[in-house]
Structure 1
Amino acid sequence: MSHQTLIPASLENPLYYLENMDLLVGWVADHHQDLLNQREQARLAEFAALNTGPRALLTRMVMRTGELFRADKLRYPELPETEREALAVLRRDGWLDDDPELTLAEVFRLFTLAELRPMFGPWLQQQGLSKTLGKAQMREQLAEAFPEARPLRSWLGETDMAGTGAVVRLREMPLFDRLRLMFFGNLRQSWTDFVLVELGVQQFEPVPFTPESRAFRQRAEVDTYLLMHHCREQLDEGVPAAEVWPQVPPAPDNAWLASRWNRLLLELGRQAERQGDRELALQVWSASGHREARLKQLRLLERMKRFEQAWALACEWQTGDLSDAEAQGLARLLKRLAPKVGEPKPELPEVPAIRSFTLTLPKPAGGTVELAALSHLGTDDAPVFYVENTLINALFGLLCWPVIFQPLPGAFFHPFHIGPADLTREDFVRRRREAFEQRFALLANGHYRQEILKAFRLKHGIANPFVVWPVLDEALLELALDCIPPHHLRALFRRLLNNIREHRSGFTDLIRLVPNALDTDARYEMIEVKGPGDRLQDHQVRWLQFFAREGMPASVCYVRWQDGEAVE
């Protein structure tokens, strides 16, 4: 199945969700058939062979929360047949268990208080309890007496509830979860993220899907992901970290799975520390390759007064490639540890001064402080634009378009990605370093300008995680390329890649472009605007310090309001 044949359904079709589900199932069957066993392949063929009504109803049930449903509450008027007829087919073909055993908690989730009172009223009366207890109080009283699951008819007893339909349980949710995982590459996204959206309103970059670019190379890797997901679910439910840790699978040799494994260990360590199991937290964080785990490990060693061990690890880590936030945190830690281990305090790197100026303006009746400053600062010869995090990111995204959409394993799972799934993972840049260097070479040979503008024209409107199309126009791009020297762009792009998650934000609010300035390094100025009472955030400070170190023109504009009435 090629990218071009995947045409999402229109929301004008009342069964659009079924069309999208069929598309998803077909995609997985085409691209991951070797990762499905014979039974799973047979079930998918049987799903595809169902008539429209049963297939649509099954899709609706798969999309909903949980696996239990009351037949009398399933109402979907768009079906070409009655819900009763569709349910009969699904029962017959083994998609549903029509006599599941229900726990007390499940009964209380499925039925209203008015329906529960006739079921349990006689028992409550026998115990000398009021029949009019609220739902929570009633369940609390019943919990000890009714610990076992049982069929619905057993719960109903002699109750006259003729209007109550059967309860059915979906039988194939593990299969549909496996499909969802292989399509999305995660289990965080729900069916509604795909099935209930009109994907046709968005344009996506075509990425070739080959056996070599697949994230899952073998069925065991899918099983490993599912096991890791189960471990994370247990942590979220409050299961002690010490019970979850033995269930964690060994570190996978699949790069993108290893990244998720590292994140699982990061969270497991957090839970262990919160639960007072510090030794386990240290063990887990030591095993995790997640960049946040290192600083957490060091801080915990410090709190445990293991200063020598913390110092040794910190000195070793200091030689690595750190983001600004990591370097800042590590420097503070080393400063605290030094006197405790008899070492001289390390000299902190000199913090460059951040330029600033103050504007006193009449307070406008409406609009933001940024727009007030823009209006005051802009001139015909030096226009000012409100760009915040959009302009530099867009220039990077357009120049590096071929690298961002490189079909590497674990990057793209289906044809509807806004960007690569591994964008903010630790190895995103490492896996593409040579390709990025080739694009950055264009900044040195002067070809970057035509490549950026060509991408803007050819790719306009196509989703890219760095490009916000509605705020971008070609005139602004051309003016920015006239004014920002390429060696400054190279430095900006390299810092962006140092930690994409952290460094995609924190850019200045405004940029002033001065195309006729004699000094080519002074043809632009980045300006962060702060109104009365507002202060710089940490990630903004780090960008401003970077600008100062690199000799890039940037400053903070502190706006103060004049006394008197607001002006229109």
Structure 2
Amino acid sequence: MPRPRAFESSTHEDTVAGKRSSSGKVVRGRPGYPMEPVTDTSPTPGDDLRQALVGGLSLIGRQLTRGEVQVVTDWLALTSNARALYGRLFVRRDRMLAEGTLSDRYAEVDSATGALDELDRAGFVWRSASHAVSTSWLLDLYDRTELAQLSKRCALSSKGRRAVLVERLVQAAPLVRGHLDRPGVRLRHRKLFRRLCRAFLGRSDGDIGAMVLHRMGTRRFADYTPSGGIGLFPDRRTLLRYEASRRWAASILRTGAIEPADQTQAMALIQTAIPSPAEVRRYRSLRYAVRVAAAAAEALERGRQYREAAGIWSLLASTEHPEAMQAARRFALCAERDGRSREAVEHLAAARTHASTTERLALERTGRRIARKHRLAWRPSPPLREPRKRTLSLPITPEPGTRPLWNGAVVEQAVADVLLHAGRTVIPSENLLWTTLFGILLRDAVFAPVAGMLPGAMQSAPLDFGLPEFATRRTALLNRALDEIRVDHGLARLQHALDHHYGEAIRGVSWERWTDHELRQILEGLGGPLVAFVLAALASGASRSGLPDLVVLTGSPIRVSGLFPGSLPKGPLFIEVKGPGDSLRDGQRVWLHRFATGGVAAEVWDIRTTPSLGSSSG
């Protein structure tokens, strides 16, 4: 039996670097830092770093000290040769590098020795030949075999991993220093420059490698104008607290050992945190304090210290963090184990009044269970609307594997095969399809110049992407776009995106998963009203997970063998497929409820097993 076209791994003959790339086009950001022409395909980290520093300075310059601004100014005044070498070293790991390995290594660096001398005079590198550097830095210049030989010369044990050898040699630094004669170099001001790169790129890692990919045509960033506004940080103190918390949490969570002092510090940061808008919360110290505190609470739970863990979860539940409702649930579970069941139930009942629909389902389930077990009162919330259900009988294939096969395919594919055989077109409709349609059809709304939402020049989405505020800040623009989609199914917007924006890095968009023809077929088969309904929900903050497995496109009414009830109408139909023992997740229930209240046809198909005759066939 042939498989539905949309289930095949389709590839598009046009790639980002192909005929739809923006070759020769100048992609401009905010005035003052236009993107370089994409026709320049040579990877030049020095030029990319220069551009990122200038752009970052225009975005968060007011949060820097005069000294920091002067450092950037001095770096920009270096010769292109020195900037080129610094840029090359900047994209490498932050460690001491052997000077001898840098000679004639990079084509755009005319003289590595001359560049190092200039960087040294200007204060942009540490050189072991002219600066007092730590023993641990110098040991970076030697591999494990060399470290073992060095240990023997110093009458130390040469056994163990590299990290063990380094630790042993550092402890014997007075004996070791005389043997470390290899000249090395390490960059200065890396932390400051990374800060500016993060601001310019709109990326938490500040990796300018993304700019190299853009310049080479491997990845095409969207053409938009960064918007003004307060920016990521309202003041320098907020910026420094964010950076310090980020480093602190990373060092703690990397080892997994959380000391009482770390727990105390995390809770103090949470208690003193200043409320922030939702779109910038990931750029606040609270984010990392919550991570450390949650890890501490989980460790206490594993140690059966439920009262202490409950105290942390209670604090986390009172924050503005996205996981606050999960913390409320964890508090209730700990309180129950600590013998405070009534308090647990009351806490859950209060928390659900502030929870989203999906979060409320989890709180409701836990509260109902605790109340029933301990004979306490529980007032249920209004139930969600239940979707229509059908049953489909399919032969299961007796083959070993992690997932059972039905007619030789996974269950979603097997259902699609049945519908295809009956004469209807079916496509997978989980998440990726809808995030792709959202980014393509509403691209103008995604990159609209809303104040403060696009502070960087290389973002794949605005800061409020996925939040309810996304829709409220772009009401007129979204209404106009959705009205157009309702009229022509979004075909005009699709064609415009394919002609002018193909290959752009837009969050959630896959340009290669479907061909142009398939996308048009999908839009026409779904119909403009249904497409607009789903996109409007996503724009208003609906979860991008939990959408039904399949959608049947508009076609002739059919009867399906083995399906009860067996008649399918001509209109589009969402199907959530559930095999034996599988149940609806909370996110799926919320989407099905949303479809039911919006008049969109969506059903749950339960799959029942029928005896298989030998090797199963359609």
Question: Is the pair's TM-score, using the shorter chain for normalization, greater than 0.5?
Answer: yes
Are the aligned partners of 2:523 and 2:531 in contact in 1 as well (CA < 8 Å)? Answer: no
Letter in 1 for 2:263: A
* Inter-partner Cα distance in structure 1 for 2:269 and 2:478: 43
1:244 equivalent among 260, 265, 270: 265
* Inter-partner Cα distance in structure 1 for 2:35 and 2:382: 56
1:90 aligns with 2:122: no
Q: State the superposition RMSD in angstroms.
A: 4.2
* Inter-partner Cα distance in structure 1 for 2:456 and 2:606: 45
1:538 aligns with 2:585: yes
Letter in 1 for 2:35: L
* Inter-partner Cα distance in structure 2 for 1:216 and 1:250: 14
1:358 aligns with 2:386: no
Report the 3-state secondary structure (helix = DSSP H, G, I; strand = E; otherwise coil) of the residue aligned with 2:545: coil
2:211 equivalent among 194, 205, 230: 194
* Inter-partner Cα distance in structure 2 for 1:480 and 1:514: 9
Letter in 2 for 1:7: E
Are the aligned partners of 1:483 and 1:514 in contact in 2 as well (CA < 8 Å)? Answer: yes
Q: Which residue pairs with 1:24 in the alignment?
A: 52
1:41 equivalent among 63, 66, 69: 69
* Inter-partner Cα distance in structure 1 for 2:568 and 2:611: 34
* Inter-partner Cα distance in structure 2 for 1:357 and 1:337: 36
* Inter-partner Cα distance in structure 2 for 1:133 and 1:209: 51
1:505 aligns with 2:553: no
Q: Which residue pairs with 1:525 in the alignment?
A: 573
Letter in 2 for 1:309: E
1:256 aligns with 2:279: yes
1:435 equivalent among 467, 471, 474: 474
1:228 aligns with 2:245: yes
Rate the CA distance shift 1:156–1:342 in 2: closer, same or farther, 3 A.
closer
* Inter-partner Cα distance in structure 1 for 2:164 and 2:61: 50
Letter in 1 for 2:589: R
Q: Which residue pairs with 2:224 in the alignment?
A: 207
Letter in 1 for 2:67: R
* Inter-partner Cα distance in structure 2 for 1:449 and 1:463: 27
Report the 3-state secondary structure (helix = DSSP H, G, I; strand = E; otherwise coil) of the residue aligned with 2:217: helix
Letter in 1 for 2:265: V
Report the 3-state secondary structure (helix = DSSP H, G, I; strand = E; otherwise coil) of the residue aligned with 2:191: helix
* Inter-partner Cα distance in structure 1 for 2:159 and 2:434: 64
* Inter-partner Cα distance in structure 2 for 1:94 and 1:183: 24
Q: Which residue pairs with 2:3 in the alignment?
A: none
TM-score (norm 1): 0.79
Q: Which residue pairs with 2:6 in the alignment?
A: none
Rate the CA distance shift 1:527–1:407 in 2: closer, same or farther, 3 A.
same
1:169 equivalent among 186, 189, 211: 186
Offset from partner CA, 1:402-438 (integer Å, 9 cap, x none)? 33223345532333222224424xxx21353263486
TM-score (norm 2): 0.74
Amino-acid identity (%): 19
Rate the CA distance shift 1:447–1:91 in 2: closer, same or farther, 3 A.
closer
Are the aligned partners of 1:526 and 1:553 in contact in 2 as well (CA < 8 Å)? Answer: yes
Q: Which residue pairs with 2:320 in the alignment?
A: 289
Q: Relative contact order: is structure 1 or structure 2 higher (C-alpha 8 Å, sep ≥ 6)?
A: 2
1:389 equivalent among 431, 447, 450: 431
Q: Which residue pairs with 1:412 in the alignment?
A: 454
Residues 460-471 of structure 1 correspond to what in structure 2 (within 5 A)? 460=498, 461=502, 462-471=504-513
Residues 8-87 of structure 1 correspond to what in structure 2 (within 5 A)? 12-13=41-42, 15-74=43-102, 76-87=105-116
Are the aligned partners of 2:388 and 2:604 in contact in 1 as well (CA < 8 Å)? Answer: no
Report the 3-state secondary structure (helix = DSSP H, G, I; strand = E; otherwise coil) of the residue aligned with 2:97: strand
Report the 3-state secondary structure (helix = DSSP H, G, I; strand = E; otherwise coil) of the residue aligned with 1:97: strand
Are the aligned partners of 1:506 and 1:540 in contact in 2 as well (CA < 8 Å)? Answer: yes
Are the aligned partners of 1:235 and 1:271 in contact in 2 as well (CA < 8 Å)? Answer: no
Rate the CA distance shift 1:401–1:390 in 2: closer, same or farther, 3 A.
same
Rate the CA distance shift 1:525–1:360 in 2: closer, same or farther, 3 A.
farther
- C-alpha deviation, 1:268, in angstroms: 2.9
Offset from partner CA, 1:356-396 (integer Å, 9 cap, x none)? 31344999999876556544422696333344434444444
Q: Which residue pairs with 2:29 in the alignment?
A: 3
Letter in 2 for 1:429: P
Are the aligned partners of 1:544 and 1:554 in contact in 2 as well (CA < 8 Å)? Answer: no
Offset from partner CA, 1:507-557 (integer Å, 9 cap, x none)? 3443322345599985112345678x8956736753674377446243437
Rate the CA distance shift 1:414–1:465 in 2: closer, same or farther, 3 A.
same
Are the aligned partners of 1:381 and 1:514 in contact in 2 as well (CA < 8 Å)? Answer: no
1:327 aligns with 2:384: no
Rate the CA distance shift 1:430–1:61 in 2: closer, same or farther, 3 A.
same
Rate the CA distance shift 1:542–1:136 in 2: closer, same or farther, 3 A.
same
Rate the CA distance shift 1:134–1:266 in 2: closer, same or farther, 3 A.
closer
Rate the CA distance shift 1:20–1:467 in 2: closer, same or farther, 3 A.
same
Give unmatched runs, 5+ long, in structure 2: 1-26, 301-307, 398-404, 559-566
Report the 3-state secondary structure (helix = DSSP H, G, I; strand = E; otherwise coil) of the residue aligned with 1:169: strand
Report the 3-state secondary structure (helix = DSSP H, G, I; strand = E; otherwise coil) of the residue aligned with 1:556: strand
- C-alpha deviation, 1:255, in angstroms: 5.0
* Inter-partner Cα distance in structure 1 for 2:602 and 2:54: 53
Letter in 2 for 1:187: S
- C-alpha deviation, 1:296, in angstroms: 1.6
Q: Which residue pairs with 1:556 in the alignment?
A: 605
Letter in 2 for 1:194: M
Give unmatched runs, 5+ long, in structure 1: none
Rate the CA distance shift 1:482–1:9 in 2: closer, same or farther, 3 A.
closer
